[in-house]
Amino acid sequence: MPQNFTLPSTLKPYNGIGDPNVHVTKFQAMMFMNKESDPILCRTFPTFLDGAALIWFSNLPEGSISNFDEIADQFVNHFAASKIYVHNSDYLSTIKQGPNESLKDYMTRFAEATNEIPNLNPKVHLYALKSGLRPGKFQESIVISKPKTLAEFREKATTQIEVKEFRALRRADKPIPTRDEERQNRQSNSRTDPRTFRLTPKFDNYTTFNAKREDIIKDILHSKLIKLPNRAGTYQDQHHMDKSSIVPSTRSTATPRMTA
């Protein structure tokens, strides 16, 4: 191998799935940038094979390859049937954003799928990308703004992703209150709550009873000075209740046994 020779680091090894012509074209383009000769192409090509493709190369008879065109032709012919595993544009319609999948993960997964589709129409790409969005605020914003190009859509998606990440950082940076702080907050809220009920006396002086409260209540009920409240129940129970059993209220002049 010549001095200062470096292999392409961005070419993914071919494992027997996908279009073999695409792999050969990428390999030649990257090696052309290195300005290498035909023998070097033959020696470095197996470096970018993996799985079934590497096994195929290992089973080639020794000395059966004399130039790169021969190995490229045999490689393409052997894996020609692998083209059926390459996705087409119709496959994009099956990619949907999951219920718990973030917009960033959805965009990444969609981009990986489009990399496998050669000569993809940008309009088809954009339509499938918008159709796969999960119902929500971002989808509604896309329906309203109607981006006409992939660049416009990516700009809006990038803004939405940055907002989500910023909010997540804000939540992560917010200190978690301790139990003592939570107790103090509850106490301060209860003191400042205007709806807090406070029982205050109506008069300054009240009559002192000379009998027990339960005895006074019994005398009041016996003399029928007040009407007993109805049994608690639903509106339907009260509407269909037997009103004939209710004792009508009568005004009485009897007074309880108590003195001021």
- The residues spanned by each domain of the chain are 20-85, 89-173
Fold of 89-173: 1.10.1200
129 CB-near residues (< 8 Å, 6+ apart) = 92, 110, 150, 153
Taking residues 174-197, report their average pLDDT.
64
The alpha carbons of the chain give a radius of gyration, in whole angstroms, of 42
**If you search the block for the tokens 């965009």, which residue do you land on?**
107
Query: What is the phi/psi pair of residue 49, to 5°?
Result: -120, 150
Lowest mean pLDDT among 17-31, 149-163, 195-209, 210-224: 195-209
Point out which residues pair with 49 in neighbouring strands: 14
Are 41 and 64 contacting, i.e. CB atoms less than 8 angstroms apart?
no
- With a cut of 50, say whether residue 260 has pLDDT above it: no
Q: How far is it, in rounded angstroms, from Cα 142 to Cα 4?
A: 51
pLDDT band at 253 (very low <50, low <70, confident <90, very high): very low
pLDDT band at 4 (very low <50, low <70, confident <90, very high): confident
231 CB-near residues (< 8 Å, 6+ apart) = none
What average pLDDT does the structure give for the chain? Answer: 79
Q: Strand, coil or helix: what is 8? A: coil
Amino acid in position 9: S
Extract the runs of DSSP E, i.e. beta strands, from the chain: none
Q: Which residue has the higher pLDDT, 132 or 11?
A: 132
Per-residue pLDDT tens digits for 51-99: 999 999 999 998 888 899 999 999 999 998 877 666 778 888 899 999 9
Are 230 and 204 contacting, i.e. CB atoms less than 8 angstroms apart?
no
- With a cut of 80, say whether residue 101 has pLDDT above it: yes
- With a cut of 50, say whether residue 231 has pLDDT above it: yes
Per-residue pLDDT tens digits for 116-163: 776 788 999 999 999 999 999 999 999 999 999 999 999 999 999 999
